[in-house]
Amino acid sequence: MSGLIVADTASAADVYDVHGASGRSAWKCFARRTWLHGDWEAVEWARIPPGGMSGEHVHTRTEEVYLILSGRGQILLDGVATEVGPGDVVLTGLGTRHGLRASADEGVTWLVIEILGPTTAAVLRGGAS
């Protein structure tokens, strides 16, 4: 594979009821673990409509970094809501319950960088189980 990956959000998939939330959102994976050379799971783009939500959930094998690209909303981290907007960066560490709710006025678009946790990375490299 070449070192160049070109992708856009024009062909994002409609997804429904993400992590238990109701309604439609959009999602696009730009790069997966098999294309990357570090302990990365994926680089993704996501969008939820005004008033929409990516339901609260927990990752036990990956951490995520969210970069809010547009819109406003609230990130929920272990039950605590914090306002977020363009340029904000959020870390959802291993085992952190998290969800994202868009404001009623505008949707939220964000970049997700998903990173393997140390145990998962070791297993995938053929190390500890």
What pLDDT score was predicted for residue 24?
74
For residue 43, pLDDT over 70 is answered with yes
Region 19-40 average pLDDT: 68
Q: How far apart are CA 85 and CA 119, in angstroms?
A: 32
Tokens representing 98 are: 């998290």
Residue 44's closest CA among 61, 56, 62, 20?
62
Overall pTM surpassing 0.85 (yes/no): no
- 25-124 in CATH: which number? 2.60.120.10
Task: Write b or e for each residue in 13-50: b if 16 or more Cβ atoms lie within 10 A of its Cβ, otherwise e.
Answer: eeeeebeebeeebbbbbbeebeeeeebbbbbbbbbbee
Over the stretch 62-117, which tens digit does the pLDDT of each residue have? 899 999 999 999 999 999 999 999 999 899 989 999 999 999 999 999 999 998 88
* pLDDT band, very low/low/confident/very high, at 8 (cuts 50, 70, 90): low
Of 80, 54, 56, which is closest to residue 68 (Cα–Cα)?
54
